[in-house]
Amino acid sequence: MEVRYTDVDYLVFSDAASLMASGKSPYQRSTYRYSPLIAFLLIPNSIIHHSWGKFIFSASDLLVGLLIHTILKLRGVPQSISTYCAMVWLVNPFTFTIGTRGNCEPVVCAMVLWIIVCLMNGNLLQAAVWYGLVVHLRIYPIIYALPIILVLDPLYFQSGKKPAVIDWSSSRIKSAFKSSSTKGGDPHHTWVSLTRLVTVRRLMFGLVSGAVFFCCTGFFFYLYGWEFLHEALLYHLTRTDPRHNFSIIFYHIYLQYEHEFSALEKLISFLPQIIVQLVLIFRFAQDLPFCFFVQTLAFVAFNKVITAQYFVWFFCLLPLILPWCSMKLKWKGLACNFLWMGAQTHWLIWGYLLEFKGKHVFIQLWLASLFFLAVNTFVLISIIRHHTYSPVFKRLERVGSKKTS
Amino acid sequence: MELRHCRIHISPVLGIRLIILAGIGSCVFVSSFSSEEALHNSNVEPNAAHCPETYISKSYFKKHAYLLDPDFQDFMAHELHTGSCEALQDKLNLVPRLSILHQHLIGEGSHRRLSSSIRFKSLPESLPEVPAHFCEAIIIERLPSGVFADPFELQHLLQRGVFADAAVFGDINLELPSFRSNRSIVEIHLDIGPNILSGHKNEVEINIELPLHARYPPLGKRGFSAVQFGLPDLFLRCSIEGKSHNESCLFMSTHGGAESQVVAAVWEVPCGIKEHEGVVSVITFITAIVSALLIVLTSIHYSDITDCNHLKQS
């Protein structure tokens, strides 16, 4: 049996890019459901070499490793630990095959990490531009909007001053959650932050990122019409795929597919996702990389459709939280690792029997997806329980104000 | 510990530049874009250089939105242009025959190959007076509901020279289940060879394997849905070189005779069982809610967990 190494998505990108190169709409390529920017990036596939896109994605993969190292160094993590954490991404066989197989996720991951770097360096305008762009490219980063807004607190970001990043060593010594001067995870503090939500920087971030998003969307709508809007945007928002995937809901969707879902059913199916996201945001927003990680892991686990490429979304954030994780690799860390991979493999076995052997194993496949959600939940809870909460920024002294402890 | 600010020097407006560059590029490339070409459910022809008359099925879909067997048979009987070959006009009663020998599915699961064996039988006596000509066999597979061919996969086969030409017409949406999709036609062209009508070969046997994929079928009771194939429609198109222009004749093979003995392929596709509906829905939602609650409770009690961890460490 011929098993292709190249991802089907790469063929889709390449076909869309060659359509674009010949002056046609990339959406003439069926199943091309991305921004035209991706196709534009791969136009050299048909001019220079058909592996051009793979080089871009692989280069992005390396850039992600560099950005992981950069973020950790910015937070004062020692060189050796930063390097080991970057290696968690770089030598992960799952992540480097993603890029070399021709999947565009490393580009998105690099952009998300770059946004974190910009925020840590106080470059809010740049962060806003890249954030608007990354949401245009891949909608899922919209879940980071609220934590970013929350972290743009006037206590951390003041005119003419660079935000002060809390050092890694000091965050590990203290019980950061309770004695942190910011009390970032304290619900009371979060409520106070909410009441002071409307600030100049937050407004600016929202306006700039929104403008970039709507400009990109509006421009490509002008070029490609409703087809672009439907394929690149609305499809992802309304997608209900009855075909088998890691999500627990696939069999339910298949069994119900012959009749339309009511608005109530859609709301109920979305409820666990929204509740989890909101709770995680309000508990961990100030520890931004950790908040991003747990949000992304939960988002993927509760999504209506889960494919293997979505795992990359939180793989790129995992190295950013490891220096604050008290879970030892031996044996809890390895146990979580093998449990997660085992649950995935278990699902894949049943998926293989269904798709490639034609066995009737829908129930077994659905149960495997339930087990996979249970494992994801266990891993997420374990990570939360072993995490040392560490806000990224510390309160800046106001000019003329007294020093606060 | 001294904080070191590591900087990567990337232009502050690189993001904006990328957008502008892509926009300029899109404007240049879109100058000849036609909205008529950007539709789903459109006919996909990998080889766009051919004239419209190349594909028989395309003529059908110009007048019909969906593939229905009675409509297509009516189309073949009354609307198909057989062309005119004066050189062969007197010999039309000695039409060469195409017949299907067998049809079966190769492989397992949702991705299989439809294998068809077709025999071309030339005339008992040769026609030396026939001018130089070139013939191709045209095989039209009217795919049943629940099965589709990937036009891009066919394109790759074309590039590898497996077929002379191939195209998919009708519903080419690869993702919809069968109860939300319409049928499609695959038209394959195979070169038979030059001067076959005046040659000495009596029979030519052609084997084709068409890669097909199963859609999710409607729910059933027994867990499998049978997808019944029909026999393909076979045509022979010969292009005869003329003094002023090339003539083209289309010969149609009618089903019957030995073909009535051929058993069409049947594809058993796993399907969902309707009785599972209630239990699956309830357990799915309970699982989702329980998982969400556990995460929420852990997050809410995070401070208690952190204190315990720090107590253990001290």
Q: Would you say residue A355 has pLDDT above 90?
A: yes
The burial class, CB within 10 Å (0-12 / 13-18 / 19+), for B216 is buried
With contact defined as beta carbons under 8 Å apart, do A46 and A18 qualify?
yes
With contact defined as beta carbons under 8 Å apart, do A92 and A318 qualify?
no
Element (H, E) at B113: strand B111-121
Tens digits of residue pLDDT in A9-47: 898 999 899 999 999 999 988 888 899 999 999 999 988
The burial class, CB within 10 Å (0-12 / 13-18 / 19+), for A259 is exposed
Q: Which of chain B's residues have a Cβ under 8 Å away from the Cβ of A34?
A: none
Q: Which of chain B's residues have a Cβ under 8 Å away from the Cβ of A227?
A: 38-39
Angstrom distance (rounded) from CA A156 to CA A75 = 15
Kindly determine whether residue B291 and residue A373, on different chains, have CB atoms separated by under 8 Å.
yes
Kindly determine whether residue A283 and residue B300, on different chains, have CB atoms separated by under 8 Å.
yes
A285: amino acid identity, one letter: A
Residue written as token pair 């194993």: A361
Angstrom distance (rounded) from CA A323 to CA A321 = 6
CA–CA–CA angle A396, A398, A404 (5° rounding): 65
Q: Would you say residue B250 has pLDDT above 80?
A: no
3-state secondary structure B26-66: HHHHCCCCCHHHCCCCCCECCCCCCCHHHCHHHHHHHHCCC
DSSP bridge partners of B104:
B115
Give the gap in angstroms from C-alpha A128 to the nearest C-alpha of chain B.
10
Task: State the average pLDDT over residues B59-81.
Answer: 83
Sign of the Cα pseudo-torsion (A125, A181, A293, A364, in order): negative
Mean pLDDT check: name the lowest of A114-123, A309-318, B141-150, B172-181: B172-181
Nearest to B58 by CA among B45, B73, B40: B45
- Average pLDDT of the residues of chain B: 74
Q: Return the higher-pLDDT residue of B19 and A158.
A: A158
DSSP bridge partners of B120:
B98, B204
Nearest to B1 among A67, A76, A185 (CB): A76
The interface predicted TM-score of the complex, written ipTM, equals 0.90
Q: Where are the alpha helices (DSSP H) in A322-361?
A: 334-355
Residue B220 DSSP one-character state: B
Confidence of residue B242 (pLDDT cuts 50, 70, 90): low
Q: Which of chain B's residues have a Cβ under 8 Å away from the Cβ of A176?
A: 306
Q: Where are the alpha helices (DSSP H) in A232-361?
A: 235-238, 250-256, 263-284, 288-302, 312-315, 318-321, 334-355
Taking CA atoms, what residue in A is nearest to B310?
A175
- Write the DSSP assignment of A185-229 as a string of letters: T-HHHHHHHHHT---HHHHHHHHHHHHHHHHHHHHHHHHHHHHHI
Give the gap in angstroms from C-alpha A85 to the nearest C-alpha of chain B.
17
pLDDT value at residue B39? 28
Q: Which of chain B's residues have a Cβ under 8 Å away from the Cβ of A248?
A: 284, 287-288
Give the gap in angstroms from C-alpha A280 to the nearest C-alpha of chain B.
7
Burial code (b: 16+ CB inside 10 Å, e: under 16) for A314-330 equals: bbbbbbbbbbbbebeee
Q: Would you say residue B16 has pLDDT above 90?
A: no
Angstrom distance (rounded) from CA B81 to CA B76 = 9
Q: What is the pTM of this model?
A: 0.84
Question: Hey, what are B149's tokens?
Answer: 């061919």
Nearest to B29 among A21, A170, A269 (CB): A21
If you count residue pairs, one on A and one on B, with CB atoms under 8 Å apart, how many are there?
242
Cis peptide before A366 (omega within 30 of 0): no
CA–CA–CA angle B305, B311, B314 (5° rounding): 140
Would you tell me the crossing angle of helices A288-302 and A362-385 to the nearest 10 degrees? 170
- Average pLDDT of the residues of chain A: 88
Sign of the Cα pseudo-torsion (B110, B111, B112, B114, in order): positive
Q: What is the largest CA-CA distance in chain B?
A: 105
Angstrom distances, CA of residue A115 to CA of A112, A233, A315? 5, 22, 16
pLDDT value at residue A353? 96
Confidence of residue B307 (pLDDT cuts 50, 70, 90): low
